[in-house]
Amino acid sequence: MFETYRPSGAFSPLCILYLVLAILISAAVAFLYELMLYWIPLIYVTFLITIGFGFALGLLGVLAINLGHVRNLAVGLIIGLLISCGGIAAKYGFQYERFIAIVADNLMAEEKVDQEKRSALREAIKEEISFKDQIDDRVQRGWNIGKRGAGLPIAGLFVYLIWLIEFGIVLVIVVALVWHAVRQPYSEALQKWANEEQVVMTLPIDSAEMVDQIKKAGSIDDLLKIPVPKSDESNKFAVYTVNSVDGADMEDAYLSVKLTTISYNDKGEEQKSDESLVDFAILKSDERNRLLENAELLNEAFVEYHKAKVAGTLGTESTPNASDA
């Protein structure tokens, strides 16, 4: 089997700084999230808004991972957890501030208090109504699912359940994005992420044996010995992708191969599904060059095949095969 990339477990101390910045930015994102929840109180829509919130926090986590050069899975998960908790906590904080503001505005309207005294009134209300009091009030009132709030009531423990689901959605999305970011290939020699991605070859698959050969390949030589189909007319393709550090052709690169299957649904719409066959196999510079050379030959062979097919000379022209590539 190929020697595959594994995160080294190292990280830069600067990741702490980037984590703090990410948490601060997550508070700004939480402000927008709370604002949308307030103005769009439709539970079906808020579900989608929550997913968007999770992705926004996840991208902040990925940014902290990349800038902090985090190659440690445990540290990455901690970063994801803290950003998730920070964003959700900020959301509850903004909801409390909105609750106090609404109470203050109602009192000002009833007692005709001057606008200049609004700030002092809000502080006085905070002394009377704590954060916990506001949470208890929201749990007791809950929500109504239905048109104009006249539907099924959700209150009490169900409110806590909804909040738990909300946090779970956000946490799962953030952790998934952070986990993926930490596992991306990194050059320890250059102290850089190998984020230069190049699809070097798309190989048509015409049998299950080809898939097994790719899975069992232990070297570039094994991959290059796989028989090439005589045509590229297939709904399955092995996509060869190489990750490397930009401009560092002499350093190690990382090969991934995925099986892409193309199908069509009842409406005739194209659908794609991917299966990973090889994950970040380490390529030395000479192995990478050999792969690129053979990929170029294969692509040229398929071009010639299509020219012959169009010209109607397919019977006399050679078709792509292993010796061509």
Higher pLDDT, 108 or 244: 244
Does some domain include residue 7? no
Q: CB-hemisphere CA count at 13 Å for 138? A: 17
| pLDDT tens digit sequence for 77-92 | 999 999 999 999 999 9
* Contact criterion met (CB below 8 Å) for 53 and 29: yes
Residues 6+ apart with CB under 8 A from 262: 235, 236, 237, 270, 271, 272
Does residue 143 share a domain with residue 79? Answer: yes
CA distances to 55, 56, 84, 145 from 27, in Å: 14, 11, 10, 28
- Residues 139 and 204 grouped into a single domain: no
pLDDT value at residue 323: 41
Give the domain extent around 257: 192-311
Residue 5 lies in a domain: no
Task: Kindly state the percentage of the chain with pLDDT values over 70.
Answer: 87
More confident residue, 267 or 81: 81
Q: Is residue 142 part of a domain?
A: yes
Predicted local confidence at residue 309, as pLDDT: 65
The residue with greater pLDDT, 61 or 207, is: 61
What average pLDDT is seen over the chain? Answer: 87
Domain count, the chain: 2
Instruction: With cut-offs at 50, 70 and 90, classify the pLDDT of residue 308.
Output: low
Q: Closest Cα partner for 128 from 93, 97, 100, 95?
A: 100
183, 217, 238: which is the final residue of a domain? 183
- Assess whether 211 and 115 both reside in one domain: no
Residue 65 has pLDDT above 90, yes or no: yes
Return d(Cα 13, Cα 15) in angstroms, integer. 5
Q: Is residue 317 part of a domain?
A: no
Quote the pLDDT of residue 314.
55
Residues 209 and 129 placed together within one structural domain of the fold: no
Q: Is the distance from CB of 258 to CB of 200 less than 8 angstroms?
A: no
Predicted local confidence at residue 317, as pLDDT: 47
Above 70 in pLDDT, residue 322? no
Is residue 169 included in any domain, yes or no?
yes
